[in-house]
Chain A
Amino acid sequence: MKREAAALGAWLRGEESRLIELIRAGIDQKGFLELASVHQVNALCSFLWRTRFLSIPEDVARRMEPILEDLRRSYLHHFMRNDRLRKDLTELVAAFEEKGINSLFLKGSWVAFAAYPDPGTRHIADIDLCIQEEDFEPVVEVLTGLGYASKDPLPRGAGRALRQSLYGNQLFFSARARRPVELHFQVLNYGLAGQDEEWIWEGSRGFDVGGGEIRVPGPVPMLLHLVLHANQHGFCPLRLLLDLHWTLLSGGFDSGTWREFIERVSRLRCRSVAYHSLMICEELFGTPVPEDCLDALRPGWIKRATYSAWWRLGSVRRHRPLQRTMTANRVMLYLLEMSSLRNKVRYLSELTREAGGARGALSLLWSLYSSSRRDGDEMRMKSLSVQQKHEAIP
């Protein structure tokens, strides 16, 4: 493993003496910053340095000064934009409540404020909002009223919108001076439409983001959502695995919760996904996952070997991005790792239908086959552009 990747790993695990050793041995500062940026952990690194590494010798601190300044700028930027996000969230909820619309907020809106050690440490690109199918049109009305516009032409009717979000492109809304919104119809938004998620809505909880309350899924569906999401992106950026890490550190997982988690995972037939996501988290960051839980989820050796090869766990361990597009990952996640054979066949036929028949299906297959380096590069550009949006005034 490259020294920069080893330093990033030690940094995120809070291993101060190992980090000092690596810095003294010499790390390429530009390479390190780029790696932290690709994995969207620069703000977190800044925070950990200031709060967890308290015995850094002077010579090491001096050596790190240029990096630390850069990391600090990232932290300040994310602190400020997440602080502003609270306003966007509470305004959305207030507008939904006025129309009697139920909503659930996923991932960033909850992990940043409830799980991470500081709200400025989690990069948040957009607001992941889950709604019920019948509320699609009123939700679009509310979003439009708040100044949002859909990125692409909107599908006609709720049914079409649901199909598009599962088998085609995500529904994405943006507005001036507001965080973009990505619309979901299922918390576990993979595979076939019409999954029973009543238990998720019934078990949802209120969460105060500071200035107002949003509703989020309970601990089990939230962890499930994060596990599947991390896998969908091939565990890159590392921030996705850190979402799991900090979620589990934030508490609320007793033996009963773990039992429910295992039961849900088994019902969804995605034990392998859950096992590998949690196992890699434990391995990379020392995440507290009960041994008996991993034992209960562990698949057979053939499954472990094929999973490791397809999802390139070796690259994940070396902090190298998976070079495959997200669409490919999303489809393959369901086809390889989830559900029953019958549902997979149905899913393939739905994908074909949504893609516009046989020709569309062929083009989809081609995109799966030829999924290239694009995703990794796009992610790199995106995180670098966020980095540059900061300026020091004299």
Chain B
Amino acid sequence: MNLPKHPLIREDLVYRKIDDDFVVYDPVGDYTAQFNFTAAYVLDLCDGTRAKDEICRDVAKAFSAPLPTVEGDVQRILGNLASMNFFVEETEVTAGGKNVDRDEVAGRS
């Protein structure tokens, strides 16, 4: 799966913090993924309102880290999430049975 412009995590995924572990369960693939803190933070930002660059900026700010370093990590994390099909596909975002622009759905002009 390609990385969407504005990554949006699938609604059916179950996300929990168990003791010190962040875990996501995918009921479709019957699959569990374990995250470190940074990956969990990135996952939280994938709400369909942010582009990759915005996610990088938010992560850099939150962790007080240089943007170029963060970009590589975020790209890797988003790539992993996309490879596990954790994002809503662009064509799945529909309104009234008709495919619509994701930006519109997420409330962007």
Partner of B73, one of A76, A79, A177, A394: A394
**Chain A residues within 8 Å of B94, by CB:** none
- Which residues in B have their C-beta under 8 angstroms from that of A389? 29-32
The answer to whether B12 and A177 touch across the interface, beta carbons within 8 angstroms, is yes
| CB within 8 Å for A394 and B34 given contacts A76-B21, A76-B23, A80-B23 | no
Closest approach, in angstroms, between the C-beta of B24 and any C-beta of chain A? Answer: 8
Q: Which of B16, B21, B28 is in CB contact (< 8 Å) with A177?
A: B28
B97 within 8 A of A: no
Question: A390-B34, A393-B34 provided; 6 other pairs, C-beta below 8 A?
Answer: A76-B23, A77-B32, A79-B18, A80-B25, A178-B27, A393-B33
Query: Nearest CB to that of A82 among chain B residues?
Result: B25
Quick check: is B45 within 8 A (CB to CB) of the other chain? no
Q: How far is the CA of A56 from the CA of B30 in the complex (A)?
A: 34
Is B77 on the interface with A (CB-CB < 8 A)?
yes
Among all A-B residue pairs, the 10 with the closest Cβ atoms: A80-B25, A77-B32, A177-B27, A393-B39, A392-B34, A177-B28, A393-B35, A390-B32, A389-B31, A391-B33
For the complex, is B14 an interface residue (Cβ under 8 Å from A)?
Answer: yes
- Does any Cβ of B come within 8 Å of A259's Cβ? no
State A394–B77 Cα separation when bound (angstroms): 7
Contact A80 B14 (CB under 8 A): yes
Q: Is the CB of B27 within 8 A of A73?
A: no
Restricting to A47-76, which residues have a CB under 8 Å from any CB of B?
72-73, 76
A83 within 8 A of B: yes
Bits for A63-103, please: 1 = Cβ < 8 Å to B, else 0.
00000000011001101110110000000000000000000
Within the assembled complex, what's the spacing in Å between the Cα atoms of A75 and B29?
Answer: 17
Closest B residue to A388 by CB, please name it: B31
A84 near B14 with CB under 8 A, answer yes
Q: Can you list 13 A-B pairs with a CB-CB distance of less than 8 A?
A: A76-B34, A80-B16, A80-B32, A83-B16, A389-B29, A389-B31, A389-B32, A391-B33, A392-B35, A393-B33, A393-B34, A393-B36, A393-B80
Contact with A along B8-50 (1 / 0, CB 8 A): 0000101010100101110111111111101100000000000
On whether the beta carbons of A394 and B36 are closer than 8 Å, the reply is yes
Tell me, in angstroms, the Cα distance from A177 to B10 when the chains sit together: 13
Report yes or no: B34 in contact with A391, Cβ–Cβ below 8 A: yes
Residues of B contacting A80 with CB < 8 Å?
14, 16, 23-25, 32
Q: Is the CB of A394 within 8 A of B80?
A: yes
Question: With A and B bound together, what is the CA distance between A390 and B12 in angstroms?
Answer: 17
> Which chain A residues lie closer than 8 Å to B76 at the CB level?
394
Q: Which residues of B contact A359 (CB under 8 A)?
A: none
Q: Taking CB as reference atom, which chain B residue is nearest A176?
A: B28
Is residue B84 contacting chain A, with contact meaning CB distance below 8 A?
A: yes
Report A365-394 CB contacts with B as 1/0, cut-off 8 Å: 000000000000000000000000111111
Q: Which residue of A lies closest to B12 (CB)?
A: A177
Instruction: Find the residue from B29, B31, B39, B77 having the highest chain A CB count within 10 A.
Output: B31
- Docked Cα-Cα span, A390 to B81, in Å, equals 13
Contact with A along B67-99 (1 / 0, CB 8 A): 000000100110011001000000000000000
Q: Tell me the complex Cα distance, A178–B33, Å.
A: 18
The answer to whether B28 touches A76 (Cβ under 8 A) is no
Which of A76, A81, A83: most chain B CB closer than 10 A?
Answer: A76
Residues of chain B with a CB closer than 8 A to A393's CB = 33-36, 39, 77, 80-81
Q: How far is the CA of A389 from the CA of B24 in the complex (A)?
A: 12
Q: Which residues of A have CB within 8 Å of B35?
A: 392-393
A171 to B31, CA, bound (A): 25
CB distance from B23 to the nearest CB of A (A): 5
- Which B residues are CB-close (under 8 A) to A390? 31-34
Chain A hits for B18, CB < 8 A: 76, 79
Shortest distance in angstroms between A252's beta carbon and chain B's nearest beta carbon? 29
Determine how close the nearest CB of chain B comes to the CB of A220; give it in whole angstroms.
34
Contacting residue for B84 out of A81, A83, A177, A391, CB 8 A: A391
- Hey, which chain B residues are within 8 Å of A72, CB to CB? 21
B27 near A83 with CB under 8 A, answer no
Contacts of B21 in A (CB 8 A): 72, 76
